Amino acid sequence: MAEGLFAKRSVGLTGAAILGSLAAISELIIPANIQPFFPILPFLRFDPAELFSVLAFLIFGPVAALISATVQWIFLMATGIDTPLGPTVKFAAVLSTLLGLWVGSALYSRIGIRFRRVSLVLGFMLGFATVARVGVLLILNYFVFTYIGPVIFGIDYLGFSQHTLQTTLGLQFAGPWQVLMSMLLFTSIFNAMHAVFSVMVPYMVFTPLSLKVPEIASEQPWVSRFSRK
């Protein structure tokens, strides 16, 4: 039994390392200028790299997903631009999404006993992932816009954001407070959309692979345990 547990943990850690490495590689081969963007704020991009961390969650579980996300963050800190703020905010976005997935799965395991379907648990997890990502980044972005950016790093995010919103939507603002409120609103909409993107794309990849994953993971995929009767 101990050997079997060790083998499963080894497979999970290996899978996490592989998916984390793929996330890092995707940062190199998929430049930001070809990533899908949010039309209202074009500098916000839908990052495909974090799909690998969610895929690690679906197959191997929360610990593997955390390892995968951390590998990506370390890579960005070492090679990315806008360090340390940019990679750290992205890391917070991924972690909040994973946290929501974990909370959603934990709650579903308690109240969804009569409906053991992967599609249902994924919907439950997606809802919590969206709420967690939007909530965490709403707070974080507030401090980035008002203090971390301008005071610590000398970056006028609100000035840049005002110019962007005037260009894309033709909005006029009475003062910085209106710019801040608009940015928090639109970034929250973007993060809700990104949560859906980050969960649904790996799920669509996971579904056709689910018949093969038991051989990869040495057992049923992590998320499939919720479909057991």
Phi, psi of 38 (to 5 degrees): -85, 115
User: Averaged over 92-96, what is the pLDDT?
Assistant: 97
Give the pLDDT confidence score for residue 229 in this predicted structure: 45
Residue 69 has pLDDT above 90, yes or no: yes
Answering whether pTM is above 0.95, one says no
pLDDT tens digits, residue range 16-59?
A: 888 888 888 888 787 777 889 999 999 999 999 999 999 999 88
Angle, CA of 146, 151 and 152, to the nearest 5°: 115
DSSP output for 13-63: HHHHHHHHHHHHHHHHHS-GGGS-EETTEEEEE--GGGHHHHHHHHHH-HH
Cα 81 from chain centre: 19
Give the pLDDT confidence score for residue 1 in this predicted structure: 44
> Domains in the chain, start-ordered, CATH in brackets?
2-35+47-227 (1.10.1760.20)
Residue 182 has pLDDT above 90, yes or no: yes
Contact 61, 80 (CB under 8 A): no
Residue 129 has pLDDT above 60, yes or no: yes
Between 28 and 167, the more confident residue is: 167
Give the pLDDT confidence score for residue 19 in this predicted structure: 86
What is the rounded CA–CA span in Å between residue 122 and residue 129? 10
Residue 214 has pLDDT above 70, yes or no: no
pLDDT tens digits, residue range 186-207?
A: 999 999 999 999 999 998 887 6
Q: Which residues pair with 173 in a beta bridge?
A: none
DSSP output for 123-191: HHHHHHHHHHHHHHHHHHHHHIIIIIIIIIS---HHHHHHHHHHHHT----SSHHHHHHHHHHHHHHHH
Angle, CA of 60, 63 and 66, to the nearest 5°: 110
